[in-house]
Structures are given as C-alpha cells and as structure tokens.
Amino acid sequence: MAVDPVASAKQQVRDALAAAARAAVAAGELPAEADPANESWRGVQVEVPRDPRHGDFASNAALVLAGRAGRPPREVAAVFQRHLPGGAWLRQVEVAGPGFLNFYLADAWWKEGVRAILQAGDAFGATDAGAGRKVQVEFVSANPTGPLGVVNARAAALGDALARVLEAAGYRVEKEFYLNDAGNQIRKLAQSVEARMRQELGQEAEIPEGGYPGAYLIDIARDLLAAEGPGLLDRPEEQRWERMARFAVESLVAQMRTQLARFGVEFDVWYPESRVRAEGYPERVLERLRQRDMVYEHDGAVWLRSSAVGDDKDRVLVRRDGEYTYTLVDIAYHLTKWERGFQQAIDIWGQDHHGHVVPMEAALRALGLPDGWFEVLLTQMVHLVRGGQAVRMSKRRGELVTMAEFLDEVDVDAARYFFLMRSPDTHLDFDLDLANLRSNENPVYYVQYAHARACGILRQAEAEAGLRPDPAADLSPLGDPAERDLARRLLDLPGEVAAAAAAREPHRLTYYLKDVATLFHQFYTRCRVLGEEEPVARARLALVDATRRVLARTLGLLGVTAPERM
C-alpha cells in the first residue's frame, strides 16, 4: 500500500519543528529546555485545523515552550518561523492567533495524496494507532427476558460502528453480547411463561410480582405448549421452571439475533452468565478478594471494601441467603475478559446503569486490575417523533417500541446514521419523517447521493468518452480552489479515524461525511469533468474516484451502505 500522505506530511511538520528548535537553541535564541529531547516537548502537538483557511497543519509548539523561553508565544513562534527548514513540500508558514504556527503545504502534496487514495483503495483511512492491541467491545447485552427496543438499536449502531473504527485504527477487536441467562430474573421469566401457558389453557393464573407481563410471552407460551404439551405443567416445580426458562431464553435470543442481523450487526461471541457461574468465576473472585483483604462479613452477608478503592460505600457481594448479587456476578464476568487476554474492555451500557460504573471500577481495582482497562460508554434514551409529535408505534398493548417495529418503519441505513449523528450521551429525538425523506434534507441521503453522483460520473465518463480513473494519471491540471478543498478534506480521513477511535466517538465521522459531500457537490457545480480537454478530464476523474472511495469507506465504517444509483 502507498505511504499515507497525511501521516507522512504530519511527520515532516514534526521533524521540521524539531529541526527549527535545535537550530534556535544552537543560535542562542531559545533556551536549552526548548530542545526536542527535553520533557518540555511532551505537550507539542501537530493537528489538522478544522478550518482549511488555517492551513493544512497547525502546531502549538510556541505556546508550549513560551514559558520555558520566558517570552511571549508569538515571539517564540517567530523564532520557529525563521529557523524552519524549507523544502518543496512546504508552501508557507504563518504565525496566527496567540502564537500558533500554521503550515500550508505545496500543491504537490495534496495532488500526490489523491493518487495515494487511489493506490490504497479500500485500505485508505487505516492507521496503526492501535498497534494491534486486543480490545473487546461489549454492547447491547439486553436481558433475554423481552424483545429488543429502540434504545437497544442505538447501542447496537454505536457498538458496531465503534468496533469497525477501532479495527481501522489498528486494534484487534472482538464484539461480544453478554447474556444474563441466570439468576432471579430468569426464574421470574419462567414463572411468567407458566402463567401465560395456564391462561392459554383457560386456567386462572397471574403474572408473578416482578414478572414479565408483556404480551410477547403469549406467543412463547403457545409455542411451548405445542412443543411439550400441557403435561409440562404437571412436572415438579423446579423441573418445569428450568424447561420454561430455557425455552423462553432460546426463543428470545433467536429473535434478538434475527433483529440484530437485520440491522447489520453480528457478534463474535455470545457469552452467557450461566457459563460464568458454571466455571466458578464468582467463587474465584471471592477468593482473590479475600487474599487481598478486600472482603468482610457483616450481618450474615459478604461485603466488598469498595469504599477503600474509590466507591462511595461498600457493596454486598453475597446476600444473607447465600445468593450472589448482580455486582459479584458482573465482576466475575469481567474477570473472564481479563483472563481472555483483552488489553482493553469497552462496555456500552444504558444510562440507567450509570450508578453501576463507579462500583465496577472500584471492584476491578480491588481485584488488582489496572485503572483504565475497563471503560464504559453510556447511551441515552431515544424518543421517536413524527410531525413534531411523540410517537408510539407498538402494536402490542402499549408496550415499548420494539426494534422489529422500528425497523418496519425506518430504513436500516437511515436508522444507523441517525443514531450515529449524535454523541451517545445525549438524548435523541429521532425524526421518522426526516429519516424516510428521499431528498438532500435527509443527512444520510445527502451523503449517499454524493457517492451515487460520483459513481454516475464514472459510468458516464466510460460510456461516453472511454475514460476510466487511473492512479497514474497526470494530476497537474488540478488547481481550482474547489478541487484543492475537496482533496484536502479527503486526506483527513486517516486522522479522523484515529481521532474517532481514540475518543470512542464514531459520530465524528458523520460530520466528516457531511463535509466531504458538501465539498464534492460544490466541486461538481464548479468543475466540469466531461467536456473538458482530456488531460483535465482525466485529472478530475481521478479526484471523483478518490471521493467515491473515501465516501464508501467512511460510510462502511458506520455500517451504512454506499449505493451506486439513487
């Protein structure tokens, strides 16, 4: 694969800054502390400015070193400016604002960047920022006691996109769904199924307190009666509940798999709580904590000294009756992640679990796991809106809006894109009318149409003029500001991917896609491709194909399709 022009240009800027600093120190214009070998350089950064008018790259070097130099940042920036080595790659360096150094690269850089995109193909945008670190992303993980809802769909879009972005950034990623298929909630599920079975047989039966009254269990009860017959109800209590629970969980998990696959989400691992318990992980956690003097007994229960490791209070791990708490089993599950060799565990939880974050961090600290290994992203609620009014689409007696019902109303691409347009920690009003609109007012349509337009130009060029994009084409005819602005933004993709991965924010890529689509539409309006002299047409065709590739690649990172015709 060709060398990434963005990464290499950024390194050239870093090298030039370091050379300028050494030259300034040697000339006595900056103190020895300004030498790049010193700790003072730790905060020096080279970034891509949001506004292209501020250059191709910008550095805060003068701002970081001004204190050591005992001079105003703009004066230090001027020293850097004088000592920066030149080169064909660099067009101009300006001192801006409080003392930033803005670098404007020569046109040859972005033209070669267009060529690099074409040569890299589908691999463009990938970086080695993750250095092959093994990361697990656990998401959705809904209790197998009911169907998936709209908020689960939001978590699915986020988790799947984050995993794709992390992989592109050089991490080794595994996607996992944790199944809480044991404990009291599953017992309540079985009792609820039994009540529905008896109701189907005309018997008097009530859903137990704390059970699951949803009408979805009626279908499961009917299927279980068809499979086992009413004789199941005559078996001993524990035996029949075990069968009812297993049947219900299997049915609900099968529905989950179907809906997630429909949404374009596939998990590498489905990890059940029953496995955590069967392999003795809760007992192993308790023993490990005892060895570290992190548990004690009080009022017949076993407590974690979590207040000693960052929590606001101690937590019960084993109740008086000997039952393990949710906290203990969850600690045990995360210990399996550590022992499976993950160097980072990223969990995506609903906002209703925010109170569980600090206790889990404290518990893992008590086990001796390193701070920062465990990371939680919280997703907020989703409110469906149509015509400016809140919508309830459920056909099942006013229950939650299921993921299945939601996907009957909204295209998968629109759903995924809309979920990813906002940070997950913000409430989302999902506009159904806008998501189903087939016009440029719809954000995903706007971006997909840019890709389809690029594909259309390529088809037309081949059909009418026999021209096809060529990575070896002469790009010197490119020079219009619309061409430069578009190419410059295309070349930001590796940095955008690395930043989205580092911040765990795949929604950043929706902003990037909007920028690229806007710049491409502007280019299309200003710069004809066909009808120009052949050298110009060939050069612009290369830029069109580079745009097509970048749009498809970035949409793919979000799990959204890139249609060739619209």
pLDDT digits over 120-137, tens only? 988 999 999 999 999 999
Residue burial 4-16, b: 16+ Cβ < 10 Å; e: rest: bbbebbbebbbeb
Better pLDDT: 448 or 51: 448
Does the pLDDT of residue 211 top 70, yes or no? yes
In this structure, the answer to whether residues 9 and 98 fall within a common structural domain is yes
The dihedral sign for the CA sequence 506, 511, 514, 518: negative
Q: Look at residue 50 in the predicted model and tell me its pLDDT.
A: 81
Mean pLDDT of 327-354: 97
In this structure, the answer to whether residues 82 and 188 fall within a common structural domain is no
**All residues at 6 or more sequence positions from 249 whose CB lies less than 8 Å from its CB, including other chains:** 144, 179, 181, 186, 189
Q: Is 100 exposed, middle or buried (0-12, 13-18, 19+ CB in 10 A)?
A: buried
Flag whether 82 is in a domain: yes
Q: How confident is the model at residue 397 (pLDDT cuts 50, 70, 90)?
A: very low
Q: Look at residue 394 in the predicted model and tell me its pLDDT.
A: 55
Which of 105, 122, 138 represents a domain boundary (last residue)?
105
Flag whether 194 is in a domain: yes
Q: Look at residue 310 in the predicted model and tell me its pLDDT.
A: 95
Which of 90, 105, 120 represents a domain boundary (last residue)?
105
Flag whether 454 is in a domain: yes
Does the pLDDT of residue 48 top 90, yes or no? no
What do you get for the CA distance between the two ends of the chain, in Å?
32
Q: Look at residue 4 in the predicted model and tell me its pLDDT.
A: 55
Q: Look at residue 8 in the predicted model and tell me its pLDDT.
A: 65
To the nearest whole number, what is the mean pLDDT of the chain? Answer: 94
Flag whether 166 is in a domain: no
Mean pLDDT of 97-121: 92
Q: How confident is the model at residue 3 (pLDDT cuts 50, 70, 90)?
A: very low
Range list of H helices, 123-234: 150-168, 184-200, 216-228
Which of 262, 295, 325 represents a domain boundary (last residue)?
262
Amino acid (one-letter) located at 221: A
- The residue with tokens 């990938």 is 126
Whole-number Å distance between alpha carbons of 564 and 453: 8
* Ramachandran quadrant class, 402 (left: phi over 0; alpha: psi -120 to 50; beta: rest): beta
Q: How far is CA 560 from CA 354, 410, 536, in A?
A: 29, 14, 32
Whole-number Å distance between alpha carbons of 200 and 189: 17
Name the residue range of residue 463's domain: 441-557
Mean pLDDT of 212-223: 95
pTM listed for this prediction: 0.90
- The residue with tokens 């805060």 is 60
Does the pLDDT of residue 395 top 70, yes or no? no
Does the pLDDT of residue 398 top 50, yes or no? no
Please write the tens of the pLDDT for every residue from 543-561: 999 999 999 999 999 999 9
Please state, for a pLDDT cut of 70, what percent of the chain lies above it: 97
Does the pLDDT of residue 440 top 60, yes or no? yes
Flag whether 53 is in a domain: yes
- The residue with tokens 């907020």 is 380
234 is written with which tokens? 């005559």
Flag whether 363 is in a domain: no
Flag whether 163 is in a domain: no
What length does the chain have?
566
**All residues at 6 or more sequence positions from 252 whose CB lies less than 8 Å from its CB, including other chains:** 144, 145, 146, 147, 220
On whether the CB atoms of residues 121 and 61 are closer than 8 A, the answer is no
At 515, which CATH number? 1.10.730.10
395 is written with which tokens? 């056909």
On whether the CB atoms of residues 154 and 424 are closer than 8 A, the answer is yes
Please write the tens of the pLDDT for every residue from 262-296: 999 999 999 999 999 999 999 999 999 999 999 99
Q: Strand (E) positions, 36-123? A: 46-47, 57-59, 90-96, 100-105
Least confidently predicted of 330-339, 367-376, 488-497: 488-497
Flag whether 39 is in a domain: yes
Does the pLDDT of residue 166 top 80, yes or no? yes
**All residues at 6 or more sequence positions from 26 whose CB lies less than 8 Å from its CB, including other chains:** none
Q: How far is CA 483 from CA 35, 429, 490, 544, in A?
A: 39, 36, 11, 10
Please write the tens of the pLDDT for every residue from 71-88: 999 999 999 999 998 777
How many domains is the chain built from?
Answer: 3
Q: How confident is the model at residue 49 (pLDDT cuts 50, 70, 90)?
A: confident
Listing DSSP states for 35-56 in one string gives: STTSGGGGG--EE--SSGGG-S
Q: Look at residue 396 in the predicted model and tell me its pLDDT.
A: 46
